[in-house]
Amino acid sequence: MKKFLLIPFLLFAVFSMAACGGSDEEPSSPEQPGMSGQPDDGDGNDDGSDTPAPGGNGRYLVLYCSRTGHTEGAAQMIRTTLDCDILEVEPQVPYDNDYSSMLSRAQEELAGIRRGNYPAIRTSVEDFDGYDLIFIGYPIWHGSMATPMQSFLHEHAGKLAGKRIALFATSGSSGISASAGEARSLCPDATVIERALLLTSSTLPQMEGRISAWLDEIGAVREEPDTPDASSLKVNISTGDRTITATMEDNAAGRDFLSRLPLEVTLNDYNRMTEKIFYPSPALTTDGAARGCAPEPGDITIYVPWGNVAIFCKSWPHSNDLVKIGRIDGNGIDVLIVEGDVHVRIERQ
C-alpha cells in the first residue's frame, strides 16, 4: 500500500520542481528531458589557473558551465562565430548522471549559496586582461544561475571588476531576469550588459539565428585580417638623397611584397635601362593575381618564369608572363632611369 502512495507523491514532486524553475539541463522540464551525457573530467588544474582554449580573436572570452550539453552547444557556437577564447567552468565533484540525485544536489547547493556557502569548482582564471567582453553562459536551475557559475563569479568578482559581461542561458521555461540579478550581485564592479540571450526548449532549434542576431545587437563582431586601404598600399623608395613614392596593387602579390618591407636591395639594370630588376627570396606569391600586362614606365611587375621584380623604365609589349604589383607615382621613375645598378631602400609609408 505504501508503494502506491509513494508513486503519486514522487510524480507530484517532480512536476512541482519543473514548475518552480524549468531548465534545459538540471532539472529538466517535462517537455525536454535531460540528456545523459556527462562532461569529461579532463585534467583540471587544481593548483593554478586554467588557460582558455585560444581563438584568433583575443578580444572575447566565453566562459560556460553545462551538464547535458545544451549550454555548451551555445557556447561553442558563440566561440565559432567570433573565433574567440573559450573555457569550461567545472565543479570540483562531477554531477551524478542519475536525475533524482542531480535534483537533490542542485537544491542543496542553491540552499547553501543562500547561506553564503558556495560549492567548490575546479576552474580558475589568473586574470581577464585584454578581454573587451566576457560571455558568461549557464543553465537555469530552479530559476537561478547554475551553481558552478555562481561559485566562479563569486571567486573571481575582484578580477572581473571593470569588465563588461554578456549573459546567455538555457532553460526549459524559466526567464533569465533572476539569474541576471544574481550576476550583478556577484560582480558588483563589473558591467553586466542589459541585453541577455535566453534559449528555451522551444527556441533551441533556432539557436544559430538567435545567437547571430544577439551578437549583432551587442556589437560583438569577428575580427577579420586587415585589408590594406589606399594609404597602406603606399611605399617610399629612397636612393641617395632622393625619395619617390609608389602605390602597390591590392592583390596577393602586392600584399606579399608589402609584407617583406622594409627592404634594401640593389636594382640591376636590364636590357639597356628598359627595366631595373631584383630577385626577392623566396619568390613572391602570384596566386589569384591577374597575369598579363603591357608595361609602361613606372610599372612594378613580377616576371613569373624567373620570379624577379621588374620596375619598367620604358614601355614594353604585352606579356602574359608579367603580373603587375604596383606603380611609381607621378614622374618618380625618372630617379631610376640611370645607367647601371641602383641601390634603394623600400619601406611602407
146 and 291 together in one domain: no
Q: Which domain holds residue 278?
A: 231-348
- Quick check: is 226 in a domain? no
On whether the CB atoms of residues 58 and 68 are closer than 8 A, the answer is no
- Quick check: is 184 in a domain? yes
CATH code assigned at 249: 2.40.100.20
213 and 236 together in one domain: no
Q: Look at residues 218, 247, 273 and tell me which one is the last residue of a structural domain.
A: 218
115 and 241 together in one domain: no
193 and 79 together in one domain: yes
90 and 119 together in one domain: yes
What pLDDT is attached to residue 224? 58
214 and 235 together in one domain: no
Picking from 272, 268, 286, 262, the residue whose alpha carbon sits closest to that of residue 345 is 262
Report helix, strand and coil shares of the chain as percent, to nearest 5.
Answer: 30, 25, 45
- Quick check: is 225 in a domain? no
Rounded to whole angstroms, the Cα distance separating 186 from 239 reads: 63
Rounded to whole angstroms, the Cα distance separating 40 from 293 reads: 59
206 and 250 together in one domain: no
Give the chain's domain count.
2
Q: Which residues of the chain have pLDDT under 50?
A: 1-24, 26-47, 227-228, 230
Q: Look at residues 197, 218, 239 and tell me which one is the last residue of a structural domain.
A: 218
267 and 124 together in one domain: no
On whether the CB atoms of residues 293 and 319 are closer than 8 A, the answer is yes
pLDDT digits 0-9 by tens, 270-282: 999 999 999 998 8
C-alpha cell at 51: 588557460
78 and 200 together in one domain: yes
237 and 194 together in one domain: no
Owner of C-alpha cell 597602406: 232
283 and 169 together in one domain: no
